[in-house]
Amino acid sequence: MRDSPDARWHGWVVRAGWSCPEDLLPPFTEADLRRLKIDALEVNQQPAAGPVLVQRRTIVFTKPEDRELRAVLFDSFGVDVVVTPVEYEWDFGDGSTLTTTEPGRPYPAFDLTHVYTELADRQITLTTTWTGRYRVDADPLHRWRDVEGTATTVDVGDEFEVVSLRTRLTG
């Protein structure tokens, strides 16, 4: 004997218009993340001021810091967003680049270095890739969620000269 449709649903009641409260929260998308004004991490180099010597290592680093931001979705949903730097791309201005997940450290560490081989004026550019997580104010669980996707920021360091120092005997 086949079950009648009523027998299959015995004990169940369909409630129209009900949904999980979390399903009503707006997602914070990659596009939303990229619209945020994220302050770029700054290029730091050593030596920091003045010229850089050709054929000598120049140390580069940045100070990685999460950024806490505030956004509003659909003119009514307040959102806390925390972005975290996860990748650093250094462009040394001479055609060389270095991509790493480490931010480097100042002297005496030589974690991230570059050797310039030609005399010229240069600038170092740092492109930082950020991931994010967000929390919607209206979420009754106040749960943090990961943003799917990334955003980038760019900082261009000060221009400097790559020089060669020569010693001269004087008599």
Confidence of residue 50 (pLDDT cuts 50, 70, 90): confident
- Structure confidence by residue, pLDDT tens digits, 97-116: 999 999 999 999 999 999 99
Q: How far apart are the first and last CA of the chain?
A: 117
CA distance 31 to 169: 63
Amino acid type, 141: L
pTM above 0.85, yes or no: no
pLDDT at 11 over 70: no
- Structure confidence by residue, pLDDT tens digits, 24-34: 788 999 999 99
